[in-house]
Amino acid sequence: MYSWSYALDDLLKVILSDANVPGEGEHKIMSYIRLQRNLPGFDPNTHHCLYGLDADLIMLSLATHEVHFSILREVISMPGQQEKCFLCGQIGHFAADCKDKSGEQTSEDGKAVDDTPIYKKKYQFLNIWILREYLENDLEIPDPPFEINFERLVDDFVFLCFFVGNDFLPHMPTFEIREGAINLLMFVYKKEFAAMGGYLTDAGEVSLDRVEHFIQSVAIYEEQIFQKRARIQQAVENNEELKLKMQKETPENLQSMSLDKVKLGEPGYKERYYAEKFNIDEPKSIDDVRKDVVQKYVEGLCWIMRYYYQGVCSWQWFYPYHYAPFASDLKGLADLEITFFLGQPFKPFDQLMGTLPAASSNALPEHYRALMTDPASPLSTFYPKDFEIDMNGKRYAWQGVAKLPFIDERRLLAETKKIEYTLTEEEKSRNKIMFDIIYVHDSHPLAAQVVLLYQMCPLPAEEPLFFIQIDTSVSNGMNGFLGLCERNHCNTSVPAPVKGLSSVEKNRVLNATYVNFQYHKHIPEPPEGVIMPAKVLKPQDIKPFPVLWHEDNNGRRQQARERPLLSGTLSGHVLGEAAHRLVKNSLQIKSNNTVRLLGAPGRNAAQGVNKPRPAGPLGYERGFMEGKDYCRSSTYSPPSCNIQGFSNSRPFQFASDFQGYSQNLRMQKSNFQDHGNISTGISNLTIEERPRFQSHPRMPNDRYWPNHQQHIQNAGPPPPLPPINWIGKQTRGYMDGFGIRLPMNWTGKQPTRVYVGRSGRQEISTRSLYDKQQQISKVYRIKSQTQEPTNSSNRQ
Q: Cα separation of 412 and 418, whole Å?
A: 10
Domain boundary among 411, 429, 447: 429
Please check the confidence at residue 588 and state whether its pLDDT lies above 60. Answer: yes
Q: Cα separation of 85 and 93, whole Å?
A: 6
DSSP E strand boundaries for 381-537:
389-390, 401-402, 436-441, 468-469, 481-483, 509-515
If you average pLDDT over residues 491-507, what whole number do you get?
A: 88
Q: Which of 246-257 are b and which e, b meaning 16 or more Cβ less than 10 Å from the residue's Cβ?
A: eeeebeeebeee
- DSSP 8-class letter at 645: T
Alpha helix stretches (DSSP H) within 310-431: 348-355, 366-373, 409-418, 425-430
- Residue 93 lies in domain: 76-101+109-121
Stretch among 107-111, 138-142, 163-167, 240-244 having the lowest mean pLDDT? 107-111
Any domain includes 401: yes
Q: CB neighbours of 505 closer than 8 A, spacing ≥ 6?
A: 492, 493
CA-CA-CA-CA torsion sign (525, 528, 530, 532): positive
Which pLDDT value is given to residue 788?
A: 42
How many of the other CB atoms lie within 10 Å of CB of 15?
15
Q: Cα separation of 554 and 569, whole Å?
A: 28
Stretch among 169-173, 275-279, 639-643 having the lowest mean pLDDT? 639-643
Please check the confidence at residue 771 and state whether its pLDDT lies above 70. Answer: no
Q: Catalogue the long-range contacts made by 561-570 (C-beta closer than 8 Å, 24 or more residues apart).
A: 564/539, 564/540, 568/686, 568/687, 570/685
Residue 677 amino acid letter = N
Which pLDDT value is given to residue 682?
A: 42
Query: Which helix H or strand E contains 202, and what residues bound it?
Result: strand 201-202
End-to-end CA distance of the chain: 86
Angle, alpha carbons 552-557-560 (nearest 5°): 110
Which pLDDT value is given to residue 746?
A: 46
Which pLDDT value is given to residue 796?
A: 39
CA-CA-CA-CA torsion sign (144, 149, 153, 159): negative
Any domain includes 9: no
Please check the confidence at residue 466 and state whether its pLDDT lies above 80. Answer: yes
Which pLDDT value is given to residue 91?
A: 62
Q: Are 395 and 250 in contact (CB under 8 A)?
A: yes
Q: Are 442 and 509 in contact (CB under 8 A)?
A: yes
Q: Cα separation of 773 and 582, whole Å?
A: 24
pLDDT per position as a tens digit, 432-464: 999 999 999 999 999 999 999 999 887 778 888
pLDDT band for position 496 (cuts 50, 70, 90): confident
Please check the confidence at residue 152 and state whether its pLDDT lies above 50. Answer: yes
DSSP assignment of 601-622: --TTSPTT--PPPPSSSTT-TT
DSSP assignment of 462-477: SS-S--EE--TTTTTT
Q: Cα separation of 154 and 148, whole Å?
A: 11
Any domain includes 295: no
If you average pLDDT over residues 23-41, what whole number do you get?
A: 93
Q: Cα separation of 454 and 242, whole Å?
A: 70
Please check the confidence at residue 730 and state whether its pLDDT lies above 50. Answer: no
Residue with the bigger pLDDT between 486 and 643: it is 486
Q: What is the pTM of this model?
A: 0.67
If you average pLDDT over residues 128-150, what whole number do you get?
A: 95
Find the Cα–Cα–Cα–Cα dihedral 546, 549, 554, 560, rounded to 10°: 20
Please check the confidence at residue 77 and state whether its pLDDT lies above 50. Answer: yes
Smallest CA-to-CA distance from 751 within 717, 729, 721 is with 721
Angle, alpha carbons 516-517-521 (nearest 5°): 125
Which pLDDT value is given to residue 518?
A: 83
Please check the confidence at residue 33 and state whether its pLDDT lies above 90. Answer: yes
Which pLDDT value is given to residue 613?
A: 42
Domain boundary among 376, 395, 429: 429
Q: Cα separation of 618 and 600, whole Å?
A: 16
Residue with the bigger pLDDT between 589 and 512: it is 512
How many of the other CB atoms lie within 10 Å of CB of 17?
18
Which pLDDT value is given to residue 764?
A: 43
Q: CB neighbours of 143 closer than 8 A, spacing ≥ 6?
A: 194
Smallest CA-to-CA distance from 715 within 670, 624, 672, 776 is with 776
Smallest CA-to-CA distance from 658 within 547, 772, 747 is with 772
Helix (H, G, I), strand (E, B) or coil at 550: helix
Any domain includes 779: yes
Which pLDDT value is given to residue 283?
A: 80
Smallest CA-to-CA distance from 42 within 68, 5, 6, 63 is with 68
Q: Side by side, which strands form the sheet with 48-51?
A: 48-51, 69-74, 123-127
pLDDT per position as a tens digit, 249-305: 555 444 444 567 888 888 899 999 999 999 888 888 899 999 999 999 999 999 999
CA 11 to chain centre: 39
Find the Cα–Cα–Cα–Cα dihedral 687, 693, 696, 698, rounded to 10°: -40
DSSP assignment of 26-55: HHHHHHHHHHHTTSTT--TT--EEEE---T
Q: Are 512 and 453 in contact (CB under 8 A)?
A: yes
Q: Cα separation of 94 and 91, whole Å?
A: 8
Please check the confidence at residue 628 and state whether its pLDDT lies above 50. Answer: no
Which pLDDT value is given to residue 357?
A: 93
Q: Cα separation of 529 and 540, whole Å?
A: 31
Which pLDDT value is given to residue 100?
A: 60
How many of the other CB atoms lie within 10 Å of CB of 493?
9
Residue 7 amino acid letter = A
CA-CA-CA-CA torsion sign (258, 259, 261, 262): positive
Residue % of the chain over a pLDDT of 90:
46
CA separation, residue 159 to residues 22, 218, 331, 416 (Å): 25, 15, 18, 37
Q: Are 725 and 793 in contact (CB under 8 A)?
A: yes
Helix, strand, coil percentages (3-state) for the chain, rounded to 5, are 35, 10, 55
Any domain includes 183: no
Alpha helix stretches (DSSP H) within 124-180: 128-138, 150-160
How many of the other CB atoms lie within 10 Å of CB of 567?
5
Smallest CA-to-CA distance from 324 within 299, 341, 343 is with 299
Q: Cα separation of 264 and 222, whole Å?
A: 10
How many of the other CB atoms lie within 10 Å of CB of 450?
22
Stretch among 148-157, 175-184, 769-778 having the lowest mean pLDDT? 769-778
Total domains in the fold of the chain:
3
Q: Do 591 and 739 sit in the same domain of this protein? A: yes
If you average pLDDT over residues 525-552, what whole number do you get?
A: 91
pLDDT band for position 396 (cuts 50, 70, 90): confident
Stretch among 98-107, 490-499, 591-600, 644-653 having the lowest mean pLDDT? 644-653
- DSSP 8-class letter at 423: -
CA 183 to chain centre: 8
Residue with the bigger pLDDT between 708 and 475: it is 475
Any domain includes 261: no
Any domain includes 46: no
Which pLDDT value is given to residue 499?
A: 83
Q: CB neighbours of 482 closer than 8 A, spacing ≥ 6?
A: 438, 449, 450, 453, 467, 468, 470, 512, 513, 514, 515
pLDDT per position as a tens digit, 314-358: 999 999 999 999 999 999 999 999 999 999 999 999 999 999 999
CA-CA-CA-CA torsion sign (242, 247, 249, 250): positive
Any domain includes 600: yes
Which pLDDT value is given to residue 311?
A: 93
Q: Are 708 and 649 in contact (CB under 8 A)?
A: yes
- DSSP 8-class letter at 520: -
Which pLDDT value is given to residue 243?
A: 62
Q: CB neighbours of 134 closer than 8 A, spacing ≥ 6?
A: 537, 542
Q: Cα separation of 507 and 510, whole Å?
A: 9
Which pLDDT value is given to residue 344?
A: 94
Helix (H, G, I), strand (E, B) or coil at 498: coil
Query: Which helix H or strand E contains 648, and what residues bound it?
Result: strand 646-648
Mean pLDDT of the chain: 75
Which pLDDT value is given to residue 183?
A: 95
Domain boundary among 394, 429, 464: 429
If you average pLDDT over residues 381-391, what whole number do you get?
A: 90
Which pLDDT value is given to residue 635?
A: 40
Which pLDDT value is given to residue 1?
A: 44
Q: Cα separation of 188 and 178, whole Å?
A: 18
